[in-house]
Amino acid sequence: MTEETKTFEPVIIGFTCNWCSYRAADLAGTSRMKYAPNVRLIRLMCSGRLDPTFVFKAFAGGADAVLVSGCHPGDCHYANQNFKAMRRYHLMERVLNQLGIESGRLKLLWASAAEGQIFANEITKFVEQVRLLGPLNWNTTSAEIPTEAAKEEVTA
Amino acid sequence: MEKKEKIGVYVCHCGTNIAGVVNVGEVSAWAGENLKDQGVVISRDYKFMCSSLGQELIQKDIKELGLTRVVVAACSPHLHEPTFRNACKGAGLNPYLCELVSIREQDSWVHTDKVAATAKAKAIIAGGVSRVVHHEPLTPLKVPINPATLIVGGGIAGIQAALEIADAGFPVYLVEREPSIGGHMAQFDKTFPTLDCSACILTPKMVQVGNHPNITLLTYSEVEKVDGYVGNFAATIRKHARSIIEKDCTGCGICWEKCPKKVVDNVFEAGMGNRKAVYVPFPQAVPKYPVIDRVNCTYYIKGTCKACEKFCPTNAIDFAQEDEVLNVEVGNIILATGYDPFDAHRITQYGYGRLANVYTSLEFERMSNAAGPTGGNIVMRDGKTIPKVVGIVHCVGSRDKNYNEYCSSICCMQSLKFAHLVQERTGAEVYNFYIDIRTPAKGYEEFYHRLLDEGTHFIRGKVAEISDAVRLPGEEGKLIMQVEDTLTGNQLRVPVDMAILSVGLEPRADSKALAKTFGISCSADGWFIERHPKLDPVATMTEGVYIAGCVQGPKDIPASVVQGAAAAARIMGKIQQKEISLEPIRATVNADTCSGCRICNSMCPFNAISFHEDTMVSEVNPALCQGCGTCVAACPAGAISGTGFSNIQILSQIDGLLLLTLDKKKEAVTA
């Protein structure tokens, strides 16, 4: 392990669904389970809400990895929308590869509202995995893509 | 941005819960200084933001500084989002212009590195600030509440809930899978610690349910499907064919008297007794109509017999009857489907099913019940020998990592009750093998002391094995219980005539499927998860769906009754309001940019999106939309927007979360 990878603290953006994985994160909190402080969570109502743009935006904005999490297949609060997230996950994996980003920087995690421990453990594992991959030295100017214009495009 | 928002940031210490790990003062000062560009005009920190003084602080700033957006950094939005939204509303700011970001559950409580946690808190707040700029004022959707309630499960919890609601004048549909309501309580002989007869306190309530004008009782029925949302659920209920015409049946009992087919009753009698192919589970069953068990009925097997039809004085037998499918509309739902006893076969070393005189607690309940298969006589499997020594094993299938880690909470008291009954009725010597005695409710400890005074033996140790292998003189024909007495450190071999396994409680075998039908979650063990483990034990994450009794976790009769009544009270409170506010998180299609590709149409599991052939655009029906946002993400034209979780809100939040990271990277590049 080089000096750099030892001290490298990856920044990870995590997408959680309101019903299972965000509550798993809450449970990890109320149970005072400890995990690595590298993940910053965004709450969506459902993992099905995850627009692949969000993931690419996170990478472009400087994140070293992205976590996508939702209810277990079959447990979706909205019938089966997490399956749609799963399909998009595989699609995004391929696109990332084409962009030259290791697929290990994108993780799909199913966690029910009762699985705080699993959520915490998996985050710590993921952080270690990304630490080994090193920083994502994506062209930092890409973050300078006029974001306002990009936003208008997607919301138009 | 045409108009600059004025944002207030409020960072909560939560006593030391947050401030112990996150440097709250630093975070607050940083936000006030560095997020000015985003529109932050004031940033404060306070001991307890949720206190009335904390809320007043926010309200004062809204009024005096003319804040247009508020970001509170405190606990999870699942806890205090309503609190802060209401505070903003009180000061005249639309509640949806307030964003609560979690720096407790997602930061201070899960991290120990103070520097990293403080940096994370800054990022989280920056994310919230970037996001809140794009919030729009929203109004909750108001929908009327259907005053009817669906209760699934007719055990004591369901019965209590049904009576509470029906007595208040609201309609109830009570659905029970078995032919009669009553649940496990109907099988018991005595209830601890008062030893009053279970049937004597339960059956009057059952009769009340059966006769109540506001209760529609659907026994031998199951809920197949539930659609809709709080206030307006539509349930599909399958009423299995009883083969009995209910309106003609008087419950006289001639059919089961004449029925020639005996069947071992594995449900109500726990395999200890027989019933007929046409039967009521027990004499006090409600409703009184029998059921023909088509699997075992000779007519359905061989095509002949019809003895019941021949003798029925009111011609109420209908062999051709078919299942009936009912659709009912209700505003709220209570799930009270109870538990399954732990299957003692799984612990092979206890010999249940192999050694005749090893009983489960449910078998013992039936045996000690005066209306049970032995008429209340406690005898061994031969049906006549009275046991002289009886061993009771506690914690069977509970507090054991091989089976269930949790404590089933009722087994100690149940075992003490058995010990008392055995001693009272047979004079036998009784051994209790326990790990710990747990008697935490009113009158329970006193009952334990009563048992100690009665001379029952208590041996602290987990039974390793029950066998019939004779090793020492005096063990012939006995069951040998091998146990280490952990108080004296001695290995014991206790010869007994009868062993009773006090089995724990488990979630119903089909609990996961049931949870899925009703859109709620199960814990890892399979018990249904309540909204809050302390403060909201009967509500679930799904609005309008409540849980009561053992379906939520192991509990005794008083606790089940409490939960049934509590769930009922919650629902009656909702019904009284006549309408309910729903989160206005809905998708809407912009007809101008919709290309009519119809990709979104197939995405929606609620059929909320319809396509207009004439204008060639799709439209979302807000009454059906549940707000998941899958269509928003799927729309290739970006024509669908999701209120509360719009693209620009999420993208801005990503920007904010990465603000610090980006600065650092830029520095690295320029350096």
Interface contact flag, A140 B642, Cβ < 8 Å: no
The dihedrals phi and psi of B153, each to the nearest 5 degrees, come to: 110, 120
Token digits of residue B219: 């026994």
The reported pLDDT for the residue numbered B259 is 95
State yes or no: pLDDT of B582 exceeds 90: no
Question: Which candidate from A35, A75, A147 shows the least CB-CB separation from B516?
Answer: A75
Closest B-chain CA to A37: B111
Mutate to test the interface with A, among B80, B103, B110, B624 (most CBs of A within 10 A): B110
pLDDT at B8 over 80: yes
Please state the rounded mean pLDDT for residues B333-342.
97
User: pLDDT digit string (tens) for A33-78?
Assistant: 999 999 999 999 999 999 999 999 999 999 999 999 999 987 888 8
pLDDT band of A6, cuts 50, 70, 90: low
Nearest CA in chain A to B669: A140
* Exposed e or buried b per residue across B259-280, where buried means at least 16 C-beta atoms within 10 angstroms of its C-beta: bebebebeebbbebbebbbbbb
What is the pLDDT at residue B622?
Answer: 85
Candidates A9, A36, A156; nearest CB to B638: A156
Question: Which pLDDT score, from 0 to 100, does residue B2 have?
Answer: 52
**pLDDT single digits (tens) B529-553:** 898 888 899 999 888 999 999 999 9
Q: What is the pLDDT of residue B579?
A: 92
Contact at CB, A37 and B653, closer than 8 angstroms: no
Q: Residues 489..528 of B with a Cβ closer than 8 Å to A: which? A: 515-516, 519, 521-524
Enumerate residues 6+ apart whose C-beta is below 8 A from B44.
B8, B9, B10, B11, B28, B57, B61
Pick the closest to residue A31 from A118, A138, A146 (CA basis).
A118
Q: Identify residue B521 by its one-letter amino acid code.
A: S
Q: What is the pLDDT of residues B83-126, one digit of tens each?
A: 999 999 999 999 999 999 999 999 999 999 999 999 999 999 99
- pLDDT reported for residue B669: 60
Q: Is the pLDDT of residue B664 over 80?
A: no
Name A115's bridge partners: none
> Which tens digits make up the pLDDT trace of B394-451?
999 999 999 999 999 999 999 999 999 999 999 999 999 999 999 999 999 999 999 9
Query: What is the overall mean pLDDT for chain B?
Result: 94
Using pLDDT thresholds of 50, 70 and 90, give the confidence band for residue A5: very low
pLDDT > 70? residue B224: yes
Q: Two tokens at B51?
A: 């206190």
ipTM of the complex: 0.89
Q: Which pLDDT tens digit goes with each residue over A89-107?
A: 999 999 999 988 999 999 9
Q: Count Cβ atoms within 10 A of the Cβ of residue B502 and give its class: 0-12 exposed, 13-18 middle, 19 or more buried.
A: buried
pLDDT of residue B583: 85
Q: Which has the higher per-residue pLDDT, A145 or B269?
A: B269
Give the Cα separation of B191 and B189 in Å (integer): 7
Q: How confident is the model at residue A139 (pLDDT cuts 50, 70, 90)?
A: low
Give me the pLDDT at residue A143, please. Answer: 47
pTM: 0.84
A148 burial type by CB count under 10 A (0-12 exposed, 13-18 middle, 19+ buried)? exposed
B76 in contact with A, Cβ within 8 Å: yes
Is B179 exposed, middle or buried, given 0-12, 13-18 or 19+ CB atoms closer than 10 A?
buried
pLDDT in tens, B242-272: 999 999 999 999 999 999 999 999 999 999 9
pLDDT band at B384 (very low <50, low <70, confident <90, very high): very high
Name which of B177-181, B319-323, B661-665 the model is least confident about. Answer: B661-665
Q: What pLDDT score was predicted for residue B1?
A: 46
The pLDDT value recorded for residue A1 is 44
pLDDT at B326 over 80: yes
Mean pLDDT for B550-563 is 97
CB pairs under 8 A between A and B: 177
With CB atoms and an 8 Å threshold, state whether B645 touches A44: yes
CA closest to B641 among chain A residues:
A155
Cβ of A49 within 8 Å of Cβ of B109? The answer is no
Rounded average pLDDT over B608-617: 92
pLDDT of residue B344: 96
- By the 8 A CB rule, do A42 and A14 touch? yes
Decide if pLDDT at A147 tops 80: no
Average of pLDDT values for B342-362? 96
pLDDT at B437: 96
Is the confidence at residue B391, as pLDDT, over 80?
Answer: yes
